[in-house]
Amino acid sequence: MTHLACTLCGKVHDASVPQNVSTCCSKPLFAHYDLAAAAKTMTKESLRSRGKSLWRYREVLPVKSETDIVTLGEGWTPLLPAPRLGAKHGLTKLFIKDEAQNPTASFKARGMTAAVSMAKQFGLKKLAVPSAGNAAGALAAYAARAGMEAHIFMPRDTPKANIIECEQMGAHVTLINGLITDCGAEVAKRKVAEGWFDVSTLKEPYRAEGKKTLGYELAEQLDWKLPDVILYPTGGGTGLIGMWKAFDEMEKMGLIAPGAKRPRMYTVQASGCQPIVRAFEANEKFAAEHLGATTKASGLRVPKAIGDFLMLEALHKSGGGAIAIPDEDMITCTKEVGAAEGVFTAPEGAACYAALKVLLAQKKVSPDETVVLFNTSTGLKYLECYGG
């Protein structure tokens, strides 16, 4: 890593000290690397002999010293062929990227391993996060692993499994009457006095670095050919933003062909909380807050995302789009995916399959295309959604 830069105006920020949002525009910061140097050692050949975790992409991750890496073995999750599900729709190359097989059973482990490792590098002792559930569990786990305090703020109606998970890993848990935005406001109000470092989604630079490894893994698992279509459930959007960043890095490093066609990126949101869908359809650069947001898919209940403009840019540049799915369709599709492929998805993951049906009906996906659905967590964390 060489430096940090504001994602809106490009102003360079110092990477040698802890940073939150940019000092110029109050927008997310991106980590930048000497990719020419990274390409000398991180080659297709060298990767074949590396360990099966996201830290296999060490040269494009920010931690300086191996001793500061806080890991539970995250990443390198399976890219599962979904032949029976695909056959229902005439698709021959349908895959599920099953992030439920990460530590803490969700994709949030990717971001937190990077963020907590950097916090360790900087000597930080107390971390705080607002969360709809899975990020909280991931921070609790990685902070415990690093010997740090985790201060977690979640909506009171967060799935019980997430709350128990955090409590059993020693985190300080506060439940708030409200949404994740209300939890974020509480962290912002108290963090200076309490001495917390805020690791909110895209309000520090490194969770996105962990999440971008999704893009590297997809390329490597598909023999360095990017899929045609990616459907990704979007709350804060770090994974979608991170993957788009990864594709750019891979091209500069020669891991994918110059000018390689990028996947069409589709963000999937809940009908009851769809700020990115509304902004995309209105061709807006930024997304207005979705007032009165409600959905059983807690990970999608993010009414306002700081990285909205980055998501929208990726959707437009990729030729993709944004789709809103009703809760009842997510629940129905959970069983359809489970019965066909043996994967008990989170509602967010099932929403991607529901969105695929919409795209097929609109003839925006062809039968011969390679399509990847993201399952971001396990349905076991959402038993309340299924009458459990």
Q: Which conformational region is residue 202 in: left (phi greater than 0), alpha (psi within -120 to 50 degrees), or beta? A: left
Give one DSSP letter per residue of 255-276, joined into a string.
Answer: SS-TTPPPPEEEEEEETTB-HH
Return the pLDDT at 184: 93
Report the C-alpha gap between 216 and 213 in whole angstroms. 5
Give one DSSP letter per residue of 138-198, joined into a string.
Answer: HHHHHHHHHT-EEEEEEETTS-HHHHHHHHHTT-EEEEESS-HHHHHHHHHHHHHHHTPEE
Mean pLDDT in order along the chain per 10 residues (388 residues): 98 97 98 98 98 97 98 98 98 98 97 98 97 94 98 93 96 94 94 96 97 98 98 96 98 95 97 98 97 92 95 98 98 98 98 98 97 97 84
For residue 214, report the phi and psi dihedrals to the nearest 5 degrees. Answer: -55, -40
Return the pLDDT at 350: 98
Structural domains of the chain in order of their starting residue, each with its CATH number: 79-105+208-386 (3.40.50.1100)
Continuous segment of H or E residues that includes residue 120:
helix 108-122
Return the pLDDT at 49: 97
The answer, as to whether pTM is greater than 0.75, is yes
Return the pLDDT at 387: 75
DSSP state of 100: G
Return the pLDDT at 367: 94
Scanning the structure block, which residue is given the tokens 């299924």?
386
Return the pLDDT at 386: 87
How many Å separate Cα 360 from the centre of its chain?
Answer: 25
